Structure 1
Amino acid sequence: MAPQRFREQFDQIQRSMPDVPLAMGPDDSAEFLYEKGVVLARDGEEARLVEDTVRDHFTTMSDLTPDHVRRASPETNRTGITRIQVADPAEGDGGGDPTVAHALRSLRTMEGRAGRRLISRNHVVSIAVNACPGDEPVPVPLSEPPNPAPDGTPYDAETAVGVLVIDTGLMHDYRSYPLLAHTEGDAQIRECDDDGVLCQYVGHGTFIAGLVAAVAPNTDVTVRNTLNDAGAILESELGEKLFEAVDRGGWPEILSLSAGTSNGRTDGLLGVHAFMEELRDQGTLLVAAAGNNASATPFWPAAYATLPGWENSVLSIGALRSDGEFGACFSNHGGWVRAYAPGERLTSALTGFGTPVPYVYQHSTYDACRFGFAYACTCQYPRHNGVLSEPGEAPAKPDQVMFEGHARWSGTSFATPVVAGLVASHMTAHKETDPRAAGRQLLAANTEYAEVRGAHVPALLPPTWHPLPVDPSAGGS
């Protein structure tokens, strides 16, 4: 059975995408989400091969019509992907789609002969990785400084490093936060519900921008609200949105992406592969979150970091716990994660500067770590009741808090912009104009290590970051 929180977030994401029936994958498990009744194929001859195979194997779809195939012209479809319906998406429940699984199996032999990927599920890519973040944000007083804190580097418009953040949009009052004086981008589409309560994941992009600016004040940060719907988007749409984001302002020096999905494969995401191929030919460095599944399963697009050809263009980042000595309980791990950075209980900007804004917790904390760790992790602290409850249990009254500017939040989502900022800071300090070279130099010069699942891994620690005690009674959150 899938974990409770995965199911809670499945419902949350389904509500944010009401016109897209979703299923859990690969069966009734907590590995990924995908669109029911639909597969993706490469454009051209390969898509026609998939269509023919669908007709041969699925008698119910022998009347496949052009409405079941969404193919754009090669001139406009830069993702190179065709979306093919193989079943009625309204059939069945969310516990897996056997027809899609059958379609994938039917093409497996042909993929072997072709020597390349022909077909894929249409996965949900989300900041709510494993369909849940490391935790929910916790308010802290405005008097509490950011952590990491700004290092005092002056801003210089001539040498500022461009950082593009693909996430949720910026809060309406983000300019009230001094570190975001040189931040531009898209607004958060909807901040509060009809009762004036902050929606879930609101402020995620603003929080990330604040972390980049704290670690590297000499940056021009641009935030795009590509992931505005509960931080979720279909794989088939993400490739297009990534191209649109870089088309609007040009390829940046650094692209920070705190979203992704696993897919049970080791060769990437079909829907974003064209973007990743173009990224490889550009000078941009993609810094990508490794995900919060507490899993060694490759998480995309971060796991491109160890695929041949992308070693220099992608940097995959896992999260350290609040003392910086060990991996955070939720962090993905494995040889495909290149480095780790603080990602538990970081402090940055959220919203409500001058005007307190309420937030109601959606998830309840656990009595013990949901991933089996023994330290006082964010699964357990700070204690709160959420709107959602265990099946069969009477719901407890949810806790409400007020945000007045700063928040403390956890996840590989936030370790990622810390490293994006470290690369940008290295570029400024060493007058390095190549972000990929800066990333290599940063790793080569690093002398700090942490322990993650028994392995000693590079720990990238900002000089202005200060560890917090892992025992909440000793002052930690």
Structure 2
Amino acid sequence: MAPLRFHEQFDHIQRSMPDVPLAMGPDDAGEFFYEKGVVLARDGEEALLVEDTVRAHFTATPDLDPAPVRRAGPQTNRTGVTRIRVGDPARGDGDPAVGHALRALRAHEARAGRPLVSRNHVVHLAVNACPGDEPVPVPSGAGLNPAPDTTLYDPDTAVGVLVVDNGLTHDHRDAELLAHVRGETQPAERDEQGVLRPYAGHGTFIAGLLAAVAPNTDITVCNGLNDAGAVLESEFGNRLFEAVDKHGWPDILSLSAGTCNGRTDGLLGVESFMRELRDHGTLLVAAAGNNSSATPFWPAAYAGLPEYADAVLSVGALRSDGEFGACFTNHGPWVTAYAPGERLTGVLAGLRTPVPYVYQHSTYDSCRFGFRYNCTCRHPHHTGLLSEERENTGGAADRVTFEGCAQWSGTSFAAPVAAGMVAAHMTAHKERDPRAARRQLLSSTTDVAEVRGAHVAALLPPTWRPVPVTRLAPIA
């Protein structure tokens, strides 16, 4: 059974995509969300094979009673995939038609040695379908952590970084740290009552971390993931292509979004984009996800595939002392390195005029992943709107006010810290190749941390200040 937080996020994302019927998989285990009644296949002969095979399977199993197998989207697009309708999403709470469609293609996939069909997953901000926690106000005058580097900005040598996320908050330029940041603002930053929407400021927070660790950067934030930070896999590749078409291929692409898919060979909807990224020489720095799981989280997990290992840096999160992995971080051999990702302090919103925020998730009495330190699952305590609605307790959600800065946790924020360290290495060593800088940085790193019993490379910015953690007594 998926954790309560995952169910709350499912409710939130479904509301943001009211015309797309969603399911949770596999079998309610809470690893991913996907579109009901639809599968993806590569355009051309493979799409025809999928249609014919699924149609024959359903004909031989008439009690499934699916909708007619048919194309459900454009015949071709730049991602090279198409949506195929295989069932009626209105029939039942589960999604047996998609499950049967996947099983029907197993023999063909075994012969081909690669996936031919896929669910149409929901790609979301990284995530247990959300960041490791929600932002927390910090006292007025509190310093940023990591503190801004004092390196001068030089437009002639600045490293180009493209952040694909939700857009910048409207007052981001009031922060001196973000003076050189360009990009798109988030179209629906606040609701009708002026309350900051959930995840608004996510892209701004990321840009601030990048600028603090590596000020000699030209940072562009692209609003490719708005509202709940969710998009269907069939559209995700297009969003990435649109970002680089508009802003150009950068030195470094910072991405704090993705999804699990239950496989170890990639995500069908981003295959074409990943091939182009590999050929362009851009380094993808991607968040490993916040499911506290070893299940590959894509696109970050491309770092574990030999043909992409040099082009992708996948980043997990360290807890606030930098010695161990954060409770929420994904882990495993496909995670390249870990960086600070718990209770970082950065720029959010409300720089010009304080802005209210209503919490969506309630904290827990103990860590939802079973850890014994004072983690963000339980502290600081607050009551959330989605939690109260799902539990039907009638309680009121807590409200806070942001005045520019916040603390926030997640691999979403460990990734830009690591991206900043690669960019800073490029500046310090006059290295123009981001992939060479990645190799040099990892080979020269002497800091290590412990994550699930393994000793891993820790990327710790010189201006980052570790914060001691309180270890809690075991529960009796």
* Counterpart position of 1:228: 226
* Counterpart position of 1:416: 415
* Mapping of residues 46-85 of structure 1, within 5 Å: 46-59=46-59, 60-61=65-66, 63-65=68-70, 68-73=71-76, 77-85=77-85
User: Does the 8 Å CA contact 2:67/2:86 hold for their aligned counterparts?
Assistant: no
**Mapped partners of 1:408, 1:247: distance in 2:** 33
* Mapping of residues 249-398 of structure 1, within 5 Å: 249-389=247-387, 392=391, 394-398=393-397
* Mapping of residues 121-200 of structure 1, within 5 Å: 121-200=119-198
What SS does structure 2 have at the residue aligned with 1:162? strand
What SS does structure 2 have at the residue aligned with 1:165? strand
1:169 Cα offset (Å): 0.2
**Mapped partners of 2:66, 2:379: distance in 1:** 51
Q: TM-score scaled by structure 1?
A: 0.95
* Counterpart position of 1:238: 236
User: Does the 8 Å CA contact 1:39/1:84 hold for their aligned counterparts?
Assistant: yes
Matched, 1:459 2:458: yes
User: Does the 8 Å CA contact 1:162/1:253 hold for their aligned counterparts?
Assistant: yes
User: Does the 8 Å CA contact 1:27/1:97 hold for their aligned counterparts?
Assistant: no
5+ residue gaps, structure 1, are none
1:249 Cα offset (Å): 1.8
Q: For residue 311 of structure 1, what is the amino acid of its counterpart?
A: A
**Mapped partners of 1:392, 1:302: distance in 2:** 34
What SS does structure 2 have at the residue aligned with 1:210? helix
User: Does the 8 Å CA contact 1:17/1:229 hold for their aligned counterparts?
Assistant: no
Structure 1 pair 414–225 and aligned structure 2 pair: CA distance change class (3 A): same
Matched, 1:35 2:35: yes
**Mapped partners of 2:18, 2:9: distance in 1:** 14
1:3 Cα offset (Å): 1.2
User: Does the 8 Å CA contact 2:171/2:352 hold for their aligned counterparts?
Assistant: no
Q: For residue 35 of structure 1, what is the amino acid of its counterpart?
A: E
1:129 Cα offset (Å): 1.9
Structure 1 pair 472–355 and aligned structure 2 pair: CA distance change class (3 A): farther
What SS does structure 2 have at the residue aligned with 1:122? strand
**Mapped partners of 1:115, 1:354: distance in 2:** 56
What SS does structure 2 have at the residue aligned with 1:58? helix
1:63 Cα offset (Å): 4.2
CA deviations 1:173-200 (Å, max 9, x no partner) are 0000111111111110101111111110
1:397 Cα offset (Å): 2.0
1:210 Cα offset (Å): 0.3
RMSD between aligned alpha carbons? 1.4
Structure 1 pair 387–53 and aligned structure 2 pair: CA distance change class (3 A): same
Q: Which runs of 4+ in 1 moved over 6 A?
A: none
**Mapped partners of 1:19, 1:84: distance in 2:** 17
Task: Name the % identity.
Answer: 72
User: Does the 8 Å CA contact 2:127/2:410 hold for their aligned counterparts?
Assistant: no
Q: For residue 395 of structure 2, what is the amino acid of its counterpart?
A: A
User: Does the 8 Å CA contact 2:373/2:471 hold for their aligned counterparts?
Assistant: no
Aligned residues: 466
User: Does the 8 Å CA contact 1:149/1:465 hold for their aligned counterparts?
Assistant: yes
1:13 Cα offset (Å): 0.3
User: Does the 8 Å CA contact 2:162/2:220 hold for their aligned counterparts?
Assistant: yes
**Mapped partners of 2:44, 2:88: distance in 1:** 24
Q: For residue 180 of structure 2, what is the amino acid of its counterpart?
A: H
CA deviations 1:138-195 (Å, max 9, x no partner) are 0113411211011100000000000000101000000001111111111101011111
* Counterpart position of 1:403: 402
What SS does structure 2 have at the residue aligned with 1:331? coil
Q: TM-score scaled by structure 2?
A: 0.96
Structure 1 pair 431–398 and aligned structure 2 pair: CA distance change class (3 A): same
